[in-house]
Structure 1
Amino acid sequence: MGELKLSDYSSDIAILSPFLLIVSALAVPWVEVSLSSLVDALYFLLPWVLVVPLHEGLHALTVKLLRAKVRFGVTTIGKVALVPYVAVGTPLPAKRYTLVSLSPLVLSAISFSLAWALRSDFWALIYIFNTAGMAGDFLTALVLLKMPGDAKVFDEGTVLRSKNEMPRPYPLWVSSLLKALIVLAFLLVLFLGRVEVVVER
C-alpha cells in the first residue's frame, strides 16, 4: 500500500512556492507593490485573502462535479504555516484525482487573462498568489500522473493512500535543484528590478 504525505515534502514546498511566486510575477512585469499607506497594504492583502477561498472552492467544486464527498480542514506545513485544504471523502481513481489537484489552474488562467486584458495589478496579484499556492497541488499531481489511471486513491485529509504504489514525485536530486533555482530566481528578480517594495512610516 502506497501513501503520500505532503508533510514529507514541506521543505520542497517551501522552496517551490516562492519560486512559483517569482516566476508568476515575471509574467506580469508591470506590477508594483507599494506598502506606503494602509490603503496600499489592504490592496495588496485583499487578493491574497480572496485567493484562499477561491482556490479551495475550485478543489471542492471539482470534487462535487465528480460526485464525491467533500471535507474541509486546516493543517500545518512545517511548524508555522497554517494551510487550509479540501479532502475528498470518496475514493477516486488517480486520473480523476489529478483533475481535483490541478483545478485551481482555472483561477490562474482567468486571473492572468484579466490581468493582461485590464492591465490590472489586482488580477495580477490573484494570479501570482494562486499560482504560488499550487506548489503542493503540482507535487501531488506529479505523483498521481505516475500511477495507473484507474488506481483508487483514498484521501485522509493530510495523507493520500492507495493499494497501488505511490511513487516519489521526482528523484531526490530535484530537491537540490529546487534550492538552486530559488536562489537563481531571486537573483534574476533583483537584477531585472521587477519587484519594488516601498515601506514608508
Structure 2
Amino acid sequence: MSLISISNRIRFVNIRSISKYLSTNADKVSTDGSTPPKKPKTTPIPRITLVNGDLVSISTLAEAQKLAKRRDLKLVKILDLDTKTQRPIYKLMTGSEYHAEDLKQREEKKKERQSGTTLKGEKVLIVNSNISLHDLKIHCNKMIKWLSKRYEVRVVINGDVNNMEKADEVFTSMETALKESGSPRILQKRQKGSEIKFQVVPPKQEAPKGGDESNPKTPSTF
C-alpha cells in the first residue's frame, strides 16, 4: 500500500471521528464553541384548594392572599392536607363568617373537655403470646404511661391459631394490670385468625370547674 493511500485513510478516519463527536455533542456546544451554562432547576410552586362561597378552585397561596386582600376577606386554613388531592384547603371568609367559625371551634373544644374525650393521638403495641412475664410487665407499664398522657392504645396479640390459650392469658394479664392502674376502658376486643385485637382509651376526665376556656385554638388566618 502506498504512502498516499495510507495518508488518505488516516484523513478519512479523522474526519469521520470529528463528525461523530460534533453530532453527539451538538446540544452541549454553542455556536461560538463554548459550553452553554446549565439551566437552573425551578422549584415547583405548591398549590392549594381554595373555597370561595360555592366556588372551589386550585390556586397558589400567594394568589389567594392577594385575592383576600383585594376583596377585604380573611383567608382561613380549613384543612392541613386533603388526602385525596394532597393539597391544603383554604377558605375565603367575611369577618362575620370568621367569627362564627371561631365560636364554633371554641364550643367544640369546650364539649370535648366536658366529655373527657380529648386524646393526643394513637399508639400501637404488638406482642407475641410467647412473651415472658418480665417483658409483658414492661409492655404493660409502657401502655399505662401512654394512657396517662391521654393516648389511645391499639393492641395486637399474635398467637397460634390452633392454640389461642396463651394469647388469652396475655390478654387477661394486660386487663388485670390496666384495672390496677386506674380505670382505662378496653374497647372492641375481637379475635381474627391467630390475632387478638383491642383498644384501650384513657378514663374520662372531669370537666374543669367554671368551664375554663383559656387558650382556645382559633382558625389560622393569612
> What TM-score do you get using the length of structure 1 for normalisation?
0.24
Rg larger in 1 or in 2? 2
> What TM-score do you get using the length of structure 2 for normalisation?
0.22
Q: Whose relative contact order is higher, 1 or 2, with alpha carbons under 8 Å and at least 6 apart?
A: 1
Q: Which has the higher helix share?
A: 1
